[in-house]
Chains A and B, each alone.
Chain A
Amino acid sequence: MRGGITYNLVVVRSSELSDTEVDAIFGALADATRRDIIVRVMRHEQSVSSLAAHYSMSFAAVQKHVAVLERASLIHKQRSGREQIVHAVPQSIAQARSLLDQWEELWRHRAAQMERILAEGELERSES
């Protein structure tokens, strides 16, 4: 039963978001500034400081908005020298990332099965 769920998740979840992920996304998008940030970084990646220049709030406040978007996997921050560059993360990538743990579990299972087959020896096997 567990395994069936694992495989279903690997297959089905690649086209669906979990409730928690949807909540995080809607929470993140429930703010006009954060929506504006998303639209800007979807057009092109940019640093937190160049984003901050568009708003009348403090740099720290903009950084907080960016952090909320990052927790919802909508954007990704990457350090480039002294700057933090903000990229939009398409949802397919966010989903692929969350599926990696499922793939890890599947490959561990595969390795265990392989070991089991090898342990049987080649008594009744004649192929080469």
Chain B
Amino acid sequence: MTVVSTDVDREALSLTMVCEFDAAPDRVWRLWSDPRQLERWWGPPGWPATVTAHEFTAGGRIDYHMTGPEGEISAAWMRVTALDAPHFIHLEEGFSHDDGRDNPSMPLSECAVRFEALDDASTRMTVVFRYSSLADLDLVVGMGMVEGLTAAAGQIEGVLATAA
């Protein structure tokens, strides 16, 4: 059993996944550090990833895109915010526009990945995923939308009352 546990925390808006592999941490680390291996597991089914830039150092950037079943392209990036081979990687993730520029209107998220040797030939990998830019989004999108809906619902009621 690879995945030991997954835990969705709706309050903290985070996801924690713990899994164990029959391979040493050095080997599991290469699934991330080698772009040709990374692109074999990163994309969801039907959306293979192609890594176009892979600077696997603290502060480095990974650019990639995924190709959908209809040939549609979804471009995205990761920034390595911290790493220590083969112990941990911290990544920030976001989406890109078609021309490669960052798309700031899509939510940013971050991932902290920890690798621990269970013995010579097995590794526990813990992934903690969380959204990182919700505070900004709330102010811009969230409040405006609820206020808009609240006002609209009030108007509808007003119209109904007038019509009655």
Listed in ascending order, the chain A residues whose CB lies under 8 Å from chain B are: 1-4, 6-8, 10-11, 14-15, 25-26, 29-30, 32, 35, 38-39, 42, 74, 88-93, 96-97, 100-101, 103-104, 106-118, 122, 127-128
B2 x A107 contact (CB < 8 A): no
Q: Quick check: B21 and A100 within 8 Å, CB to CB?
A: no
B21, A118: Cβ atoms under 8 Å?
yes
Whether B106 is near chain A, meaning CB under 8 Å from some CB there, is yes
Q: Which residues of B contact A93 (CB under 8 A)?
A: 13, 134, 138, 142
A1 in contact with B46 (CB, 8 Å): yes
Q: Are the CB atoms of A4 and B15 closer together than 8 Å?
A: no
Q: Is the beta-carbon distance between B23 and A118 smaller than 8 angstroms?
A: yes
B52 on the A face (CB < 8 A): no
Return B40 CB to nearest CB of chain A, in Å. Answer: 6
Q: A35-B150, A92-B107 are in contact. Are A97 and B13 (CB under 8 A)?
A: yes
Number of interface residues, chain B, beta carbon within 8 A: 56
Q: Which 10 A-B residue pairs are closest in the complex by CB-CB distance?
A: A90-B142, A3-B45, A113-B41, A90-B138, A29-B153, A3-B46, A4-B46, A92-B137, A7-B44, A92-B142
Q: Are B45 and A114 in contact (CB under 8 A)?
A: no
Q: Which residue of A lies closest to B147 (CB)?
A: A42
Q: Which residue of the partner chain A has the closest CB to B142?
A: A90
Measured in the bound complex, the distance between the Cα atoms of B75 and A101 in whole Å is: 22
Residues of B within 8 A of A42 (CB): 143, 146-147
Select the residue from A32, A89, A117, A128 with max chain B CB neighbours within 10 A: A117
Cα(A10)–Cα(B68), bound, Å: 13
Supposing A88-B146, A107-B129, A111-B2 touch, asked if A1 and B41 sit within 8 A by C-beta, the answer is no
**B151's closest neighbor in chain A, by CB?**
A35
Q: Does the CB pair B44–A29 fall under 8 Å?
A: no
Contacts beyond the supplied A7-B43, A42-B147, A113-B41: 20 A-B pairs with Cβ under 8 Å: A4-B45, A4-B69, A15-B106, A29-B149, A29-B150, A38-B150, A74-B146, A88-B143, A90-B145, A91-B141, A92-B137, A104-B8, A108-B3, A110-B41, A111-B2, A111-B125, A112-B3, A117-B37, A118-B27, A118-B28
Among A6, A38, A115, contact of B146 (Cβ-Cβ < 8 Å): A38
What's the least CB distance linking A85 to chain B, in Å? 13
Does B30 lie at the interface of the complex (its beta carbon under 8 Å from any beta carbon of A)? yes
Is A7 in contact with B8, judged by CB distance below 8 angstroms?
no
Q: Which of A15, A101, A106, A115 contacts B2 (CB 8 A)?
A: A115
